[in-house]
Structure 1
Amino acid sequence: MSGKVEFYRLSKKFVDEKEAPPQVKQLEYYALAIGHHVGVVDCFSPVMNMAREEYLKWIAKLPQTEARRKMEGVVKWGEVEITREHVRPLIKALTSAAPVFLPEEKKWVDCLLQLLWSMEREPAIYLVVRSL
């Protein structure tokens, strides 16, 4: 099994200002709700990556919950979005499995927890996890 898994964070949005009304912030939230059909382009920044094998070993340590199934979706579909609705279940799964993580995995957990907590504060932020 080769390849890697990369986590991306929404870092900013690009709005074609010729088409956007003055309430750009409101447009960004609206675009998230309707699926980006109004000229808003998401700009993502890579925040974490690992070998695909390492990713599979890591998520296998999560409890059998919806959070784990979400993370397994990367393997099944090649990509998943982590949105605000996934934050609480993922935080719970990551913290409950904390004692079994290896040192490198704990670094990934810490990084992901920081991202999830930032998503709690700012609902427009989301993550994309992609298998490359």
Structure 2
Amino acid sequence: MTNSNIELSTSEQPASKGNVYFWSLRQKFVDSDDDVPEEAQQVMYYSLAIGHHVGMIDCLKNELVCPLDGYQSWVNAIPEGEARRKLQGLITFGEINIDSTHTSMLALAVDGFAKDENSPYCEWSSTLIRLLGEIEREPAIYLIVKRRS
């Protein structure tokens, strides 16, 4: 879902051409032909929970795509603070992760856009808030946000 009618003010410079992709990680599975003994399964599940990906395959679901220049305008419209800094990290580093430690901060930052049907960021903000709510209900879910040229 994208909103291609984003208008940039003269003070906002586009980040560059390309898109921003929001993927959700909703499940993982072990790529192994070996049966895991019952007594070792808890160790394996613990390893999954703390993020060890040796032999792991992540199952990513594409949730949102928006143009990079529109994303930058959206971020610039968020008031200064931690939420803006977090989302700006995509421009700086090319990728960010959003997990359960970010949900409230980001939802509060984009809530006004989601409630304003005239906002060019309404649909993106609504989608992000929905995804953040899913993370709140199931903290094992997280988002990977990447830019691509």
- Name the TM-score, length of structure 2 as normaliser: 0.76
Q: Tell me by how many angstroms 1:20 deviates.
A: 4.2
Alignment partner of 1:6 out of 21, 28, 51: 21
Per-residue deviation, residues 9-29 of structure 1 (Å, max 9, x unmatched): 113212135264547687445
Per-residue deviation, residues 33-75 of structure 1 (Å, max 9, x unmatched): 1x32443221111111111100001111111111111100001
Alignment root-mean-square deviation, CA: 2.4
Alignment partner of 1:90 out of 106, 117, 129: 106
Amino acid at match of 2:26: S
Structure 1 residue runs of 5 or longer lacking an equivalent are none
Structure 1 97/72 Cα, relative in aligned 2: closer, same or farther at 3 Å?
Answer: same
2-structure distance, mates of 1:19, 1:104: 51
**How high is the sequence identity, in percent, across the aligned residues?**
35
Q: Give structure 1 regions of 4+ aligned residues with deviation exceeding 6 angstroms.
A: none
1-structure distance, mates of 2:57, 2:17: 31
2-structure distance, mates of 1:86, 1:21: 36
- Name the TM-score, length of structure 1 as normaliser: 0.84
Higher Cα radius of gyration: 2
